[in-house]
Amino acid sequence: MASFRVCVLTLFPDMFPGPLGYSLAGKALEAGIWSLKTVNIRHYARNQHVDNAPFGGGPGMVMRADVIDAALRENRESWLPFVYMTPRGQALTQEDAWALARIGGVCILCGRFEGVDQRVLDKHGANELSIGDYILSGGELAALVLLDSIIRLIPGVIKSMESLQEESFSRGLLEYHQYTRPRVWSDRAVPGVLVSGHHKRVKEWRRIQSEVITRERRPDLWHRYAVAMADGQGGIVEQQ
Ligand code: SAH
């Protein structure tokens, strides 16, 4: 059995795996490290519409509770967490990605139109997640973003677990600047410490860079980090 099981309910199943069929995620899908089941919500509409006008009036259409309920009941394995992508949800974080990766699977509902009848979300205990404060035309791209953030954390997808520990958010900080060859490019030299061969000094330089960049760019993250450090915790995002 795959280490991570994905079930996606959508009106556009052909959008999956989409970008997740490429590169590391694509190879891992082929290798069976994660599995993907797409469910076309339209198949559960029988002779009805998938959507209807909202009660109370207003623009647009709302996806029907009975149609989505039928799709969920037939396809969701009961242990899978149920996630609805919506701009009204909690903002997706790296912690969420780690938590879902550890659980071992997810069932995602992609909305369209004005969204989904609230009753089916309540009945199935939906976890509502947003990928940012803007409106997309459908939940499919949001689901792909969520899945990408999870899949790269599954053991065996990325060879070096070290790279997961170093990257932005892993210790509650943004990542330091990165450089590669050539040493001097367009009259700009790589910071000397990085080519000094002193591993301890490189580590220290990177830590300071991370702190400076986080303080400048993301005062919100910096504040959380500073509080966690004062409490004696080394980092914020728990791993493994
Ligand atoms: N009327 C809704 C927006 C509907 S957008 C509102 O004002 O809140 C149509 C669908 O796109 C949503 O049902 C949701 O599944 C998806 N979507 C749009 N923006 C999103 C975002 N920022 N994060 C996650 N999903 C989003």
Over its length of 240 residues, how does the chain's per-residue pLDDT go in tens digits? 899 999 999 999 999 999 999 999 999 999 999 999 999 999 999 988 999 999 999 999 999 999 999 999 999 999 999 999 999 999 999 999 999 999 999 999 999 999 999 999 999 999 999 999 999 999 999 999 999 999 999 999 998 888 888 888 988 999 999 999 999 999 999 999 999 999 999 999 999 999 999 999 999 999 999 999 998 876 555 443
Q: Measured from the CB, is residue 221 less than 6 Å from ligand 1?
A: no
Residue type for position 197: G
Per-residue confidence (pLDDT) for residue 170, from 0 to 100 = 85
Return d(Cα 168, Cα 183) in angstroms, integer.
24
Q: Which residue among 136, 140, 141, 146 is best mutated to probe the pocket of ligand 1, counting the most ligand atoms within 8 A of its Cβ?
A: 136
Cβ contacts of residue 197 below 8 Å, gap of 6+? none
Q: What is the pTM of this model?
A: 0.95
Specify the domain boundaries for CATH 1.10.1270.20 within the chain: 165-230
Overall CATH class of domain 165-230: mainly alpha
For ligand 1, mutation pick of 83, 86, 146 (most atoms within 8 Å of CB): 86
Nearest CA to ligand 1 atom 4: 114
Domain 4-151 architecture: 3-Layer(aba) Sandwich (3.40)
Separate counts of helices (H) and strands (E) for the chain: 8, 9
pLDDT at residue 98 in the model: 97
Q: Where, residue-wise, is CATH 3.40.1280.10 in the chain?
A: 4-151
**Smallest CA separation from ligand 1 atom 21, residue:** 87
> With contact defined as beta carbons under 8 Å apart, do 85 and 145 qualify?
no
Predicted pLDDT at 240: 36
CA of residue 23 to ligand 1 center, whole Å: 28
Question: Does residue 87's CB lie within 6 angstroms of at least one atom of ligand 1?
Answer: yes
Q: Nearest C-alpha to atom 11 of ligand 1 is from which residue?
A: 138
